[in-house]
Amino acid sequence: MSSLFTFILVLQALVAAVMIGVILMQKSEGGGLGVGGSPAGLLSARGAADFMTRATTILATAFVALSIVLAAMASVGRSGSTIDTSLSKTAQTSGAAPASSLTGATQPAPAGTAPASDDPLAAAAAAAAASQEAAPAPAQAPPAKK
């Protein structure tokens, strides 16, 4: 993780903590801090409400912007994912599947045979084709009685 990413992550946590504090200090009626003082200025009911509303708006905007920046930084640093084919079944090189494949039993491949290709997609396609050839035709449903 880069140091710039860590710095922005810490900055976002601080913005979130300050925003929580600003929101909790507001009165539910919109009265702000609720402290007395001079009728005009920052500590009046209207001045405190305006300040707290502006602070909440600025902090919320900063939080959303930092979230977008962090998401963009995380997606740029990511490499493409690879598919793990270590647990997939290997395709058989013969055209038809043995009878035991219908029961679920596995048979080892003959000693002299090698897989058709090293490509996992080709192996999966060959296995799918072999299983479709070996699958019995679906039974037809009896006609409905009236």
pLDDT in tens, 86-130: 887 765 444 555 555 455 555 555 554 554 456 777 777 777 777
Residue 142, Cα to own-chain centre: how many angstroms? Answer: 47
**43-73 confidence digits (pLDDT tens):** 555 666 788 889 999 999 999 999 999 999 9
Distance from C-alpha of 25 to C-alpha of 39, rounded to nearest angstrom: 20
Specify the pLDDT at position 125. 76
| Position with higher pLDDT, 26 vs 79 | 26
Specify the pLDDT at position 58. 95
Distance from C-alpha of 117 to C-alpha of 125, rounded to nearest angstrom: 11
**Where residue 81 falls among pLDDT bands split at 50, 70, 90?**
confident
Residue 46: name the closest of 60, 27, 22, 59 by CA.
Answer: 27
Contact indicator for 134, 92 with CB cutoff of 8 Å? no
Distance from C-alpha of 75 to C-alpha of 71, rounded to nearest angstrom: 6
Work out the burial of residue 110: count CB atoms within 10 Å of its CB; fewer than 13 is exposed, 13-18 middle, 19 or more buried.
Answer: exposed
Specify the pLDDT at position 135. 54
Specify the pLDDT at position 92. 47
Contact indicator for 33, 52 with CB cutoff of 8 Å? yes
**19-43 confidence digits (pLDDT tens):** 999 999 887 764 555 554 445 555 5
* Helices and strands (H and E) in the chain: how many: 3, 0
